[in-house]
Chain A
Amino acid sequence: MRYLPKSPAERQEMLAALGAKSIEELFSSIPEAYRLKKPLNLPGPYSEAEVVKYFEERATENSSGYTSLLGAGVYSHLRSVVTDAILQRGEFLTSYTPYQAEISQGTLQAIFEFQTLMCQLTGQEVANASMYDGSTATTEAVLMAERMTGRRRVLAARSLHPEYRDVLRTYAKNSGLRVEEISYTPSGALDEKGLKAALREDVCAVVVQSPNFFGSIEGLGALAELAHASGALLVVAVTEALSLGVMRPPVEADIVAMEGQSFGLAPSYGGPYVGVIASKEKFVRQMPGRLAGQTHDLEGRRGFVLTLATREQHIRREKATSNICTNQALCALAATVHLSLLGKEGIREMAEQNVAKARFALSLLEKIPGVKRSFTAPFFNEFAVELPRSVKIVNAELLKSKIIGPYVLGAAYPELTKHALVCVTETTSRAEIERFAGALKAALESPF
């Protein structure tokens, strides 16, 4: 087997050194009755070429050749080949969590730079590195708020990503947290009146996403005031991190929970991505996850270490702030390289292209009879439209033109069955947008 560096003779030599006659002897502590008597029934062994062929065949069974209007928490963006070249350096790819700082400065400094970039983007004072994804980051942010306030009620926007709400409910179920939903207004933003009515002295966190799941940008200042007036913390989830290249950072938030997939990570059918929690410095000791800090060595040289580990499970066990251990370090590195490449100008330009493309798409869709915008609030690169027909049926028509239609809002919002969530990024060409608008028009005109 090509991955195993031993010849049969070497195996024998090593066994002899142990005074063992056969390899079986080394497994003698497993009771005989429980040892497998026959080989595992697994496909393979495959040569490298066969492994590649297997996956290339699977790749042809997916969506190659289709244009997609999907976003809804996962976004296609340009990625420089440089990011992957760095990521595939074995020194980053095949190293462990940097507990041994003297031989892990590469990873540690990159993490420190990641934390800095996340602070700059979110306008927060500290950021961790990292959480599994945006959904678990949001949940962990709520648990953090619970620890800080000692309160047990959570008010989550209905316009928070449906799967993020699902994850929050899964975690909340057994920790005595009560999650309640706050609806949205015709503008697509959080219903402030509803929030005000629900806020009492027992609420630990108000959770709102911006831009929210419908693409609508939330006015965070007013929400923070409302939350703070009753002693609750404002948790702001960001699923489209690129929006921060052109949007005001969520400085009013007490905790920001972000999905960093947009920064150099492929959609990859759902993961791996990278979650981040950023907050005010005074909350840092309640923050979950790894943190790299600057320090110096015996000779006074700058260096970096994992720090404030007394929050973590390997030290605190059942008293830890979270059970997270393995996180998404390599994905955080991808984001760090990607953002270093984009730089100050690049991220703004990329974000502005998204703003322009989405508005171009909307302008074409609004010309189609019967199609109108669902909500009125400003948006970044996603917006909802109401169609005169069921989105599911329309999408089935679009597939015939090799177009993967927009996200069907009815899937998660029964009240919005005729509403579609359209996402357009800098990777969607004008021709594709025009083709989509044309196909949509045709689909709406075609008989049932």
Chain B
Amino acid sequence: MSDKIKVARRHTNRSEVLIFEKSSPGKRAFELPPLDVPAVNAGEALGEFRRAEGVEGFPEVSEIEVIRHFTRLSTWNYAIDLGMYPLGSCTMKYNPRVNEFVARLAGIATEHPYQPQELSQGCLKILRQLEKCLLEITGMDAITLQPAAGAQGELTGLLLIRAYHQRNGNPRKKVLIPDSAHGTNPATAVIAGYEVENIKSNADGQVDIAKLREQVTGDVAALMLTNPSTLGIFEQQIPEIAEILHAKGALLYMDGANMNALAGITRPGELGVDVMHLNLHKTFSTPHGGGGPGAGPVAVRKILEPFLPVPVLVEKEGGRLALDCNRKESVGRVRAFVGNFGVLVRALAYILAYGPGVRQATEDAVLNANYIRKHLEGAFDLPYTRPSMHEVVFSDAIQKRNGVNTMDIAKRLIDYGFHPYTTAFPLIVSGALMIEPTESESKEECDYFIEAMKAIAEEAEKNPELVKTAPHTTRVRRLDEVAAARKPVLRWKPSDKRSEAAD
């Protein structure tokens, strides 16, 4: 921009300062009703345990400043509500607003986990209904809704497997994990006390059956399989894989992160799966909220039911529901209370809105992914050509010839108004572009995305520098992650001088 043009500095083109930097003593944004009991001197009541001064550094701001601060911050975010969010493996679908409404109802949000169960029948009915729906969708026999997220679901699943083997005399040593798996799988196996043994995918991106036969020994507790895999490919041999495992007494764990490709089409329970988790914040539309909260229910076959975490929801005579903590073989609790109840409410609201029509959502998700694949084949390298389900994984092999990698393309996509796809995952694809549109995108939106991707492919050819320095239109440019990690600044301190960020 020319030096001669004076740029008016409005807040929207300046960095929003920290809430602490807006603070000035005496301002306030919250007033309590007057105390209706005799005041107590906190010093006398707490003695040596009293905090002498107010919390040092805590902000002192007015209500309008809080509203503006966070509203401005929000405008720095991309979100599903703004446009397509094709993050592979994350299932960024529409988060229905009615789900938010019902989770906040008085009588739902207000309930205390220790209130008497006879005064909690509404909450328990919600849990029971959700359990039934998820069992119908997965074709499994029993379920726990307690795990707080997918990774905790994985851990719960492995603890169940361990308890099962333990009862049979030997917890076994190893868990097999394909090289295409999410990073949570191996991290979880270790916490459950297992060694991780990787299994290689074959050239089709499927499990190598012959190799698997060799690897499954009496030491193997389970195989953790993501299906469809992180390549977006359905593992066709899953019934056979289950047989191989079962023949040696091992169990099949299915990572249900990609259930959005299967709901209403096929049921893991009929494919030989023994235990699986679901990510309600993926398939069942509960909002990601910038990284949680989620919920990771775990569904199991009958053989694992005795080991489910406490409490277990049970039906008493007369249809009364109760939480049963008295389960001798239970693995214990994985989290305090029943689980992320508010998230479970939202997931049930989603399922009720669709009913059996959940299948249509799955179909649309798979249709969108294949439509995008069809139009981008050729422009981008497709390392695995088996049919795609809900997502498609390209590689940056063509663009790399001009020095442009998947991260560059992703950043350039931001300039075109889209959130990037997932980069550099799965690990078995070098320079992966993992694209999951979900069912929430219209044909028009898919077309815009295809157009953008093709334009970037062309730019990578003709003007690679433009792509490599992207994004060009965001309010901040690429951020220095190396500097952030080298000398971490993880909090503001009162002694910090006011930011010069705005200048």
Let me know if A330 and B287 touch, CB within 8 A: yes
Closest to A395 in B: B116
Across-interface contacts of A303 in B (CB, < 8 A): 15, 476, 479, 501
Let me know if A166 and B332 touch, CB within 8 A: yes
How many pairs of residues, A versus B, come closer than 8 Å at their CB atoms?
A: 683
Chain B nearest Cβ from A187, distance in angstroms: 13
A-B contact pairs, 27 of them (CB 8 A): A1-B361, A29-B233, A36-B266, A42-B351, A42-B355, A46-B355, A64-B106, A70-B115, A100-B78, A102-B476, A106-B77, A107-B291, A136-B152, A166-B336, A170-B159, A244-B51, A269-B111, A271-B343, A301-B15, A302-B501, A318-B186, A322-B191, A326-B151, A327-B149, A344-B54, A407-B114, A429-B36
Let me know if B29 and A341 touch, CB within 8 A: yes
**By the criterion of a CB under 8 Å from any partner CB, how many residues of chain A are at the interface?**
197
Closest to B293 in A: A272
Q: Does A202 contact B (CB under 8 A)?
A: no
Q: Does A430 contact B (CB under 8 A)?
A: yes
Give Cα A295–Cα B485 distance, bound, in whole angstroms. 9
Let me know if A91 and B40 touch, CB within 8 A: no
Let me know if B59 and A344 touch, CB within 8 A: yes
Chain B nearest Cβ from A159, distance in angstroms: 16
Give Cα A175–Cα B42 distance, bound, in whole angstroms. 43
Let me know if A270 and B339 touch, CB within 8 A: yes
CB within 8 A of B293: which of A271, A293, A307?
A: A271
Q: Does B455 contact A (CB under 8 A)?
A: no
Give Cα A219–Cα B49 distance, bound, in whole angstroms. 8
Let me know if B100 and A88 touch, CB within 8 A: yes
Let me know if A95 and B77 touch, CB within 8 A: yes
Of A74-82, A150-158, A368-376, A440-448, the one touching chain B: A74-82
Across-interface contacts of A92 in B (CB, < 8 A): 70, 74, 77, 79, 289-290
The 3 closest A-B pairs by CB, nearest first: A44-B355, A59-B107, A330-B289
Give Cα A291–Cα B236 distance, bound, in whole angstroms. 39
Of B208-216, B436-444, B456-464, the one touching chain A: B436-444
Across-interface contacts of A345 in B (CB, < 8 A): 28, 54, 60
Q: Does A410 contact B (CB under 8 A)?
A: no
Let me know if A63 and B491 touch, CB within 8 A: no
Give Cα A1–Cα B354 distance, bound, in whole angstroms. 7
Q: By CB atoms of chain B within 10 A, which of A28, A43, A349, A407 has the most?
A: A43
Chain B nearest Cβ from A439, distance in angstroms: 15
Let me know if B288 and A45 touch, CB within 8 A: no
Quick one: given A40-B356, A109-B73, A356-B40, are A95 and B293 in contact (CB under 8 Å)?
Answer: no
Quick one: given A109-B16, A109-B73, A320-B187, are A271 and B341 in contact (CB under 8 Å)?
Answer: yes
Q: Does B428 contact A (CB under 8 A)?
A: no
**By the criterion of a CB under 8 Å from any partner CB, how many residues of chain B are at the interface?**
201
Q: Does A226 contact B (CB under 8 A)?
A: no
Q: Does A297 contact B (CB under 8 A)?
A: yes
Quick one: given A45-B354, A93-B287, A247-B46, are A100 and B478 in contact (CB under 8 Å)?
Answer: no
Please provide the chain B residues from 227 to 272 with a CB less than 8 Å away from any CB of chain A in the complex.
233-234, 236, 239, 264-267, 270-271
Q: Does B57 contact A (CB under 8 A)?
A: yes
Give Cα A82–Cα B82 distance, bound, in whole angstroms. 22
Main secondary structure of the interface of B (DSSP, over half): loop
Q: Does A84 contact B (CB under 8 A)?
A: yes
Closest to A334 in B: B289
Let me know if B443 and A404 touch, CB within 8 A: no
Contact code string B82-113 (vs A, CB < 8 Å = 1, else 0): 10010100101011101011111111111111
Chain B nearest Cβ from A363, distance in angstroms: 9
Give Cα A136–Cα B292 distance, bound, in whole angstroms. 15
Quick one: given A29-B389, A62-B107, A132-B148, are A337 and B66 in contact (CB under 8 Å)?
Answer: yes
Chain B nearest Cβ from A440, distance in angstroms: 16
Let me know if A58 and B122 touch, CB within 8 A: yes
Q: Does A390 contact B (CB under 8 A)?
A: no
Q: Does A68 contact B (CB under 8 A)?
A: yes
Closest to A429 in B: B36
Across-interface contacts of B332 in A (CB, < 8 A): 166-167, 169-170, 173
Q: Does B327 contact A (CB under 8 A)?
A: no
Give Cα A35–Cα B139 distance, bound, in whole angstroms. 12
Q: Does A142 contact B (CB under 8 A)?
A: no
Across-interface contacts of B152 in A (CB, < 8 A): 132, 136, 323-324
Q: Does B63 contact A (CB under 8 A)?
A: yes
Q: Does B322 contact A (CB under 8 A)?
A: no
Q: Does A357 contact B (CB under 8 A)?
A: yes
Across-interface contacts of A73 in B (CB, < 8 A): 336
Chain B nearest Cβ from A177, distance in angstroms: 10
Across-interface contacts of B318 in A (CB, < 8 A): none
Q: Does A103 contact B (CB under 8 A)?
A: yes
Give Cα A76–Cα B114 distance, bound, in whole angstroms. 13
Let me know if A3 and B96 touch, CB within 8 A: yes
Q: Does B384 contact A (CB under 8 A)?
A: no
Contact code string A341-377 (vs B, CB < 8 Å = 1, else 0): 1111111111111011101100000000000000000
Quick one: given A44-B352, A55-B102, A433-B37, are A355 and B187 in contact (CB under 8 Å)?
Answer: no
Give Cα A84–Cα B105 distance, bound, in whole angstroms. 13
Contact code string B141-173 (vs A, CB < 8 Å = 1, else 0): 000000011111011000100100000000000
Across-interface contacts of A294 in B (CB, < 8 A): 484, 489-490
CB within 8 A of A164: which of B66, B106, B270, B336?
A: B336
Let me know if B341 and A94 touch, CB within 8 A: no
Give Cα A56–Cα B265 distance, bound, in whole angstroms. 32
Q: Does A5 contact B (CB under 8 A)?
A: yes
Chain B nearest Cβ from A381, distance in angstroms: 11
Q: Does B454 contact A (CB under 8 A)?
A: no
Quick one: given A170-B332, A271-B340, A326-B291, are A86 and B491 in contact (CB under 8 Å)?
Answer: no
Let me know if B115 and A63 touch, CB within 8 A: yes
Taking A59-B122, A343-B30 as known contacts, 12 extra A-B pairs with beta carbons closer than 8 A to each other, sorted by chain A number, are: A70-B115, A107-B291, A127-B491, A174-B162, A246-B50, A247-B51, A272-B148, A307-B481, A327-B292, A333-B289, A341-B63, A344-B55
Across-interface contacts of A317 in B (CB, < 8 A): 183, 186-187, 196
CB within 8 A of B150: which of A326, A341, A407?
A: A326
Of B3-11, B366-374, B398-406, the one touching chain A: B366-374
CB within 8 A of B71: which of A86, A113, A136, A269?
A: A86
Q: Does B387 contact A (CB under 8 A)?
A: yes
Across-interface contacts of A284 in B (CB, < 8 A): 488, 490
Q: Does B119 contact A (CB under 8 A)?
A: yes
Quick one: given A55-B102, A164-B336, are A245 and B108 in contact (CB under 8 Å)?
Answer: no
Q: Does A416 contact B (CB under 8 A)?
A: no
Let me know if A291 and B442 touch, CB within 8 A: no
Please provide the chain B residues from 341 to 355 with a CB less than 8 Å away from any CB of chain A in the complex.
341-343, 345, 349, 351-355
CB within 8 A of A100: which of B82, B102, B133, B410?
A: B410
Give Cα A313–Cα B155 distance, bound, in whole angstroms. 13
Q: Does B335 contact A (CB under 8 A)?
A: yes
Let me know if A93 and B289 touch, CB within 8 A: yes
Give Cα A132–Cα B162 distance, bound, in whole angstroms. 23
